[in-house]
Structure 1
Amino acid sequence: MQDFFALKDDKMATGLGVITILGLIANYVFTKLRLPGLLGMLLLGIIIGPYGMDLLNPDLLRVSSDFREIALIVILLRAGLGLDWDELKKVGKPALRLSFIPGVIEGIAIMLVSNRLMGLSLVEGGILGFIIAAVSPAVVVPAMLHFKENGIGTRKGIPTMILAGASLDDIVMITIFTGFLGLYGGQDINVFSQFMRIPVSIITGVSLGVIAGLIFVRIFESYHIRDTKKVLMVTGAAILIMAAEDILVNTIPIAGLLSVMTIGFIILLKRGVVAKRLSVKFNKIWILAEILLFVLVGAQVNVHVALDGGAAAFLVLFIGLLARSIGVFISLVGTNLDLKERSFCAVAYTPKATVQAAIGAVPLAAGVASGELILAVAVLSIILTAPLGAMGIRLLSPMIKD
């Protein structure tokens, strides 16, 4: 037993082995209990992570963000390869509204409420609000792909609408968060130019994805390449686009995640047969990628910090989610969805995880006075909304059955 607790001092590969085996077990157990498998993997990450039993190698934790990014790339390529053009045209306008209205309303609500309940300044409240307001593609996208594959809600295009909206939501929220963080730091922020980064990043992201997708289509038409190698080529290009987003962040904004999904979508449009074969390959890769994503996200969660937020943090999050749900209903005005279907969409738009784990500590590192409190609320949002949102999506799925 003592040797087991010494695992963190072993090779990084050993930690990956532990995560894989225990992740599979956690996924199986929770699925048998009729609970989302990702909930088991998140809890596993919390238990074996540095804030729990501390079993993971520090080197593995240092590169965990890279593993999580690759897992997100896999799921977004799957999403792109699974989109339906006719459905996308049908749900385009509500999907666009879902990409910013719910998040903006939630972010503003948290900004105002945290000012009253937690004593944050409006700028600090804005920083907190737009960290929390980002929906988690890691939780939402796999669920919507499962619904598409099983024909749940597809008659009205609900999974496609949520997929498209969620992929844009993060871009908008992170851009606004960056603006508030700049205001706190006394940077000379041009609000207009900051908000203009949103459409520019969307345009550049889609353009890069289209160019890369068309290049792959031409290559696949001209040369006989095994599907496994095609998957590696597409994945490698997607990773490079994400790297370009980081490198060019201060010059040309690029919506990297949207670009990745566009690559898959272009291949689907131009080479549908190839897209279906690649989708099968990516589905297999996702088995491992899903484990790494959710266990490593869980490992970033510091339960002790989350508890520091106190009762006020719970209330702030609750009001934020309520505001977000109102935003979802506003976004769906004019659609043919009934009340049950709109309620499902509101629940599907609640999970937080990836963005909060990635940038929750940024204000603290940047010297924001309430950085620790902001981190605590961000962590608490993951603990509360990721499992509850995932369970809600599953339990309420009969509401959208065709």
Structure 2
Amino acid sequence: MLTSIAIILLFGLLVGWIFSKMKLPSLLGMIIVGIVLSPHCLNLVDDSILTISGDLRQIALVIILTRAGLSLNFSDLKKVGRPAILMCFVPACIEMMGTIIFAPLLLGVSILDAAIIGSVIAAVSPAVVVPRMIKLIEDGYGTDKSIPQLILAGASVDDVFVIVVFTALTTLASTGEVSAISFIQIPTSILLGVLLGGAVGTILVWFFRRFHIRDSVKVLIILSVSFLLLELQNRLEGIVPVSGLLAIMSMGIIINQKYDVLAKRLSVKYNKLWLGAEIFLFVLVGIAVDLKYALAAGVVVILLVILALVFRMMGVAVSLVKTKLNKKERLFCMVAYTPKATVQAALGTVPLAMGLSCGEIVLTVAVISILITAPFGAICVDNSYKKLLSK
């Protein structure tokens, strides 16, 4: 395992650095490293790493979502208002609708299979979007109209919505039954996640004000609490739906609101943690990609992913109707909301493992969506924010 960790870190750092020097997102290089190291290519990663890869990806998400919460100001979120709520589900719904229209025509699948494909590829990737929005907040781009905050909030809830829809659809495909309770879980999971995170954040602020301890120890405490929140989500599954990731982000927001001096110091610590977590996250996403499916996909799958992306961008445009954003700012939001990676890597193999007839094509579309949208979104954001947003 130690050799595999060393290979992941060293090659991830090296290739990521090379890509950044080529004015390309370092994450693209890291994903390529993962593809090359994976069992489907050179097979240089120990099986023990593959066994815990899902947990390692989740740890990386915890770090970046906590960092996002520590950067988000509650007053900025209130100022965003209606568009932030619409961004949580409208782009994903319209993208799924586009997939339901075109997947049967292009791939010859049923309406239900097309809906499952749509639910897999509809989630935006917080791992790609969140670090970039944090950078914009720190550099002051688009903050006069709370554009990074809008995208941050939407991207975090978008995943919860899509995962619940995916679960309901795969249940329908495997059992032939789906209940209304499945869809009631969406708002319940979001609300309980926010309330739980707010309560935990308030307790932590009280504790940190009362007991003076080093910031590094505070980071360890917050990380441990974050992992417990995820475990609580897992333990309550099937009983009470609650989003652990949303709770973690809400916890960071409350710390920022009630103890902003500490939030700034903790943000610096989390930035340093993200340096290593980012490498693991994107290399492991690459390891989950099977190029065999991508190479066998053909032009029609690529066309489907592009069409779905167009529908997604239309969904963002609809969400921003009657806002004060100008055309350039709306265009930025549209491209910033396109990257997919982490959710697709996690969900892409599920239908195949469940034995669903659409399993192989779902995995193929998930792989292609990662390879197309992750670099596309990252490159667009990195190269356009100075031109499209005011500082």
TM-score (norm 1): 0.95
**Structure-2 residue corresponding to 1:141:** 130
Q: Deviations over 1:345-393 (max 9, x none)?
A: 1111111100000010100111111211110111110011111111011
**Structure-2 residue corresponding to 1:57:** 46
The correspondence of residues 375-394 of structure 1 with structure 2, limited to 5 A, is: 375-394=363-382
* 2:5 is aligned with 1:37: no
**Structure-1 residue corresponding to 2:63:** 74
**Structure-2 residue corresponding to 1:6:** none
Other structure's SS at 2:143 match: coil
Q: Distance in 2 between the 1:300 and 1:56 partners? A: 12
Q: Do 2:169 and 2:178's aligned partners in 1 also have CA atoms closer than 8 Å?
A: no
Other structure's SS at 1:304 match: helix
**Structure-2 residue corresponding to 1:249:** 237
* 2:374 is aligned with 1:400: no
**Structure-2 residue corresponding to 1:335:** 323
Which is further off, 305-314 or 282-291? 305-314
**Structure-2 residue corresponding to 1:297:** 285
Q: Deviations over 1:176-205 (max 9, x none)?
A: 111111111125321x32211111001110
Once the 2 structures are TM-superposed, how far is the Cα of residue 31 of structure 1 from its aligned partner?
Answer: 1.3
Q: Distance in 1 between the 2:31 and 2:247 partners? A: 27
Which of 10, 14, 20 lines up with 1:25 in the alignment? 14
**Structure-1 residue corresponding to 2:85:** 96
Is there any run of 5+ residues in structure 2 with no aligned partner, and where? none
Which of 332, 350, 359 lines up with 1:371 in the alignment? 359
**Structure-1 residue corresponding to 2:343:** 355
Is there any run of 5+ residues in structure 1 with no aligned partner, and where? 1-11
Q: Distance in 1 between the 2:37 and 2:174 partners? A: 36
Q: Distance in 1 between the 2:289 and 2:336 partners? A: 22
**Structure-2 residue corresponding to 1:173:** 162
Which of 226, 243, 262 lines up with 1:238 in the alignment? 226
The correspondence of residues 70-219 of structure 1 with structure 2, limited to 5 A, is: 70-190=59-179, 192-219=180-207
Q: Distance in 1 between the 2:169 and 2:177 partners? A: 11
Residue type of the partner of 2:52? V
Q: Distance in 2 between the 1:96 and 1:279 partners? A: 26
Structure 1 consecutive aligned stretches of length 4 or more whose deviation exceeds 3 Å: none
* 2:244 is aligned with 1:263: no
Which of 307, 316, 327 lines up with 2:304 in the alignment? 316
Q: Distance in 2 between the 1:251 and 1:180 partners? A: 19
Q: Do 1:307 and 1:376's aligned partners in 2 also have CA atoms closer than 8 Å?
A: no
The CA RMSD measured in Å over matched residues stands at 1.1
Q: 1:232 and 1:262, CA in 2 relative to 1: closer, same or farther beyond 3 A?
A: same
**Structure-2 residue corresponding to 1:4:** none
Question: What percent of counterpart residues are identical?
Answer: 46
Once the 2 structures are TM-superposed, how far is the Cα of residue 85 of structure 1 from its aligned partner?
Answer: 2.1
* 2:265 is aligned with 1:281: no
Residue type of the partner of 2:13? L
Q: Do 1:73 and 1:238's aligned partners in 2 also have CA atoms closer than 8 Å?
A: yes
Q: Do 1:115 and 1:121's aligned partners in 2 also have CA atoms closer than 8 Å?
A: yes
Q: Do 1:303 and 1:380's aligned partners in 2 also have CA atoms closer than 8 Å?
A: no
Q: Distance in 1 between the 2:384 and 2:82 partners? A: 24
Q: Distance in 2 between the 1:393 and 1:166 partners? A: 15
Once the 2 structures are TM-superposed, how far is the Cα of residue 151 of structure 1 from its aligned partner?
Answer: 1.0
Q: Do 1:306 and 1:376's aligned partners in 2 also have CA atoms closer than 8 Å?
A: yes
Q: Distance in 1 between the 2:30 and 2:188 partners? A: 36
**Structure-2 residue corresponding to 1:5:** none
Residue type of the partner of 1:349? Y
Q: Distance in 2 between the 1:359 and 1:199 partners? A: 21
Other structure's SS at 1:185 match: helix
Q: Distance in 2 between the 1:56 and 1:384 partners? A: 24
TM-score (norm 2): 0.98
Residue type of the partner of 1:141? V
Once the 2 structures are TM-superposed, how far is the Cα of residue 308 of structure 1 from its aligned partner?
Answer: 2.3
Q: Deviations over 1:103-159 (max 9, x none)?
A: 001012102211222111111111110100000001000111111111111111111
Residue type of the partner of 2:301? A
Q: Distance in 1 between the 2:243 and 2:296 partners? A: 34
Q: Distance in 2 between the 1:133 and 1:307 partners? A: 22
**Structure-1 residue corresponding to 2:333:** 345
* 2:210 is aligned with 1:222: yes
Q: Distance in 2 between the 1:115 and 1:335 partners? A: 35
Residue type of the partner of 2:108? G
